[in-house]
């Protein structure tokens, strides 16, 4: 079972500490995730082939990127305004984590010394 589990994407190190049920659930989840990724890639390949057909045969009728990939439309609109806030959020998170690390080190020093 070990080779099949590793083939299904379970880490060799983690395999030995997992129960049979955990191995089965993780293997099934990995297979389902891989299948979903393949389906998404196939859809993108198909859409790319459609765009190539437009580009070669009727370039004037080629749809815009946002029209052909509707899921990308919302991402394009929201990325630019939030870009200013993103660095501020990241900075706040880094400061928060730094404070947690400092407190942990201080607590460990008090206990150890």
Average pLDDT over residues 78-101: 76
Average pLDDT over residues 98-111: 84
Instruction: Establish if 68 belongs to a structural domain.
Output: no
Q: Take residue 21 and report the two structure tokens written for it.
A: 């049920």
CA distance 61 to 19: 57
The whole-chain average pLDDT of the chain stands at: 83
pLDDT tens digits for range 65-75: 888 777 777 65
CA distance 10 to 16: 10
pLDDT tens digits for range 25-49: 999 999 999 999 999 999 989 988 9
Grade residue 15 by pLDDT with cuts at 50, 70 and 90. Answer: confident
- pLDDT at position 74: 61
Instruction: Establish if 73 belongs to a structural domain.
Output: no
Residues 9 and 53 in one domain: yes
- pLDDT at position 34: 93
- pLDDT at position 37: 94
- pLDDT at position 36: 94
Residues 56 and 87 in one domain: no
How far CA 42 is from CA of 5, 34, 35, 51, 55, in Å, comes to 26, 12, 10, 14, 20
Instruction: Establish if 71 belongs to a structural domain.
Output: no
pTM of the complete model: 0.50
**Structural domain harbouring 95:** 78-113
């Amino acid at each position: 079972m070990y080779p099949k589990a590793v083939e299904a994407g379970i880490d060799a190190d983690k395999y030995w500490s997992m129960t049979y049920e955990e191995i089965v659930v993780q293997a099934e989840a990995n297979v389902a995730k891989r299948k979903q990724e393949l389906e998404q890639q196939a859809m993108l390949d198909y859409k790319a082939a459609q765009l190539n057909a437009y580009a070669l045969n009727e370039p004037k009728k080629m749809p815009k990127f946002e029209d052909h990939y509707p899921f990308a439309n919302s991402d394009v609109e929201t990325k630019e305004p939030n870009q200013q806030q993103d660095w501020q959020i990241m900075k706040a998170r880094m400061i928060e984590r730094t404070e947690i690390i400092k407190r942990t080190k201080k607590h460990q020093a008090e206990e150890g010394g």
